Amino acid sequence: MNNKILKWATLTGILLILLLIVSIFSFFWGTVNIPAGKIGEIISKGRADTRFVILFDIRLPRILLAFAIGGALSLAGVILQGMFRNPLVEPYTLGISGGAALGVCLNIVLRMQNILGVFSLPVLGFIGGICVITLVYILSIKQDILRIQGLLLCGVMLSFICSSLIMLIMAISRAEDLHGIIFWIMGSLEQPNWLLIKAALGMSIFGLMAAYIFCFDLNAFSLGEEEALHLGINVEKSKRLLFILTSLLTGFSVSIAGIIGFVGLIVPHFMRLLIGNDHRVLLITSFLSGAIFLIFCDTLARTIIAPMEFPVGVITGILGGSLFIYTFTRKLC
């Protein structure tokens, strides 16, 4: 037991060090490379120095947002994979991303930003995601029992419906609206509003603490619902609360940063292969790994073709998909 705890502590410590290294690298490296030794001089000059604006108004918000979104999506992926006992389930499977994307598309086309201002995209995106997930919940519950497989099927079907409606909106949209919709759908961490960044950080940290309350429930779910019930777990209550938690984490993430694929799928999958299915360590390691992965991908997105920028969802899709295929083929060999 002591050896296991030591292994978990060592791995968590390594991930924390990696998170610090990647964050520092992302902070100082970019289109304008700023030596770390100049940080004292830059801070002393304040906003009179252009480098201060680059570091603290552009790069730092992106790093913090990548930490929050990457951690939240990975955490949601861990919980859903534990509930469904399926390593291929991800947060977007339940249709949350489709609902949020549909809400954002309507926001752009209807010019809701003229009413709600800078909060129009996250507000409409969050409302869209919550509406879809509520519908999925209503369709999947029967006689006060939340059917997990019905939840998955309804989520997939509603996601397809939302995707079709989005394509319809795109087909009849004006060129400037179409560009905004496409760029948002591909994901971006370019969010200058500190209130939203703080909200994302608060939501992700809250999600991590709340998920730990259910770590033993998730371990029991890996044995099957009947076994979990025999172990004294209130299965239906746990499923509902976990479903609500993952919906909030995913809906909030998508509404702020758009659809950033593969983070909630590939990171939990890799961590399960590395350390097993014990959620006492899997939750925190997946959270940290998701944050590291997204910070790294965002750094690549803004530097590969600088001064232009890739949507971060493109980078996560390419890297995540390639890693998944490589791992899958290696396991078959």
N residues, the chain: 333
Pairwise pLDDT comparison (79 vs 97), residue with the higher score: 79
Residue 1: predicted pLDDT: 56
Residue 45: predicted pLDDT: 80
User: Backbone phi, then psi, for 92, in 5-degree steps?
Assistant: -80, -10
pTM: 0.89
Residues 71 and 208 sit within 8 Å (Cβ to Cβ): yes
Among 278, 261, 218, 259, CA closest to 242:
218
Pairwise pLDDT comparison (225 vs 289), residue with the higher score: 289
Top mean-pLDDT range of 16-20, 25-29, 161-165: 16-20
The number of folded domains in the chain is 1
What CA–CA distance (Å, rounded) separates 163 from 151?
A: 18
- With a CB cutoff of 8 Å and minimum separation 6, the contacts of 58 are none
Fill in the amino acid letter for 302.
Answer: R
Residues 200 and 253 sit within 8 Å (Cβ to Cβ): yes
Residue 260 above 70 pLDDT?
A: yes
170-222 per-position pLDDT tens digit: 888 777 777 777 777 778 888 667 888 888 899 999 999 999 999 988 888 88
When pLDDT is cut at 50, 70 and 90, the band that residue 308 belongs to is confident
Average model confidence (pLDDT) across the chain: 84
139-167 per-position pLDDT tens digit: 887 767 777 777 788 888 888 888 888 88
Residue 180: predicted pLDDT: 73
Residues 103 and 97 sit within 8 Å (Cβ to Cβ): no
Residue 192: predicted pLDDT: 67
CATH number at residue 28: 1.10.3470.10
Residue 118 above 70 pLDDT?
A: no
Residue 105 above 70 pLDDT?
A: yes
What CA–CA distance (Å, rounded) separates 38 from 216?
A: 48
Residue 147: predicted pLDDT: 76
Residue 205: predicted pLDDT: 94
Mean pLDDT over residues 302-320, rounded? 84
Query: Which range of residues forms the domain containing residue 151?
Result: 2-332
Mean pLDDT over residues 49-57, rounded? 84
Residue 310: predicted pLDDT: 83
What CA–CA distance (Å, rounded) separates 233 from 222?
A: 12
Residue 70: predicted pLDDT: 94
**What per-residue string of b and e applies to 139-172 under the rule 16 or more CB within 10 Å gives b?**
bbbeeeebebeebbebbbebbeebbeebeebeee
Pairwise pLDDT comparison (89 vs 293), residue with the higher score: 293
What CA–CA distance (Å, rounded) separates 65 from 87?
A: 26
Beta-bridge mates of residue 145: 142
Mean pLDDT over residues 269-297, rounded? 91
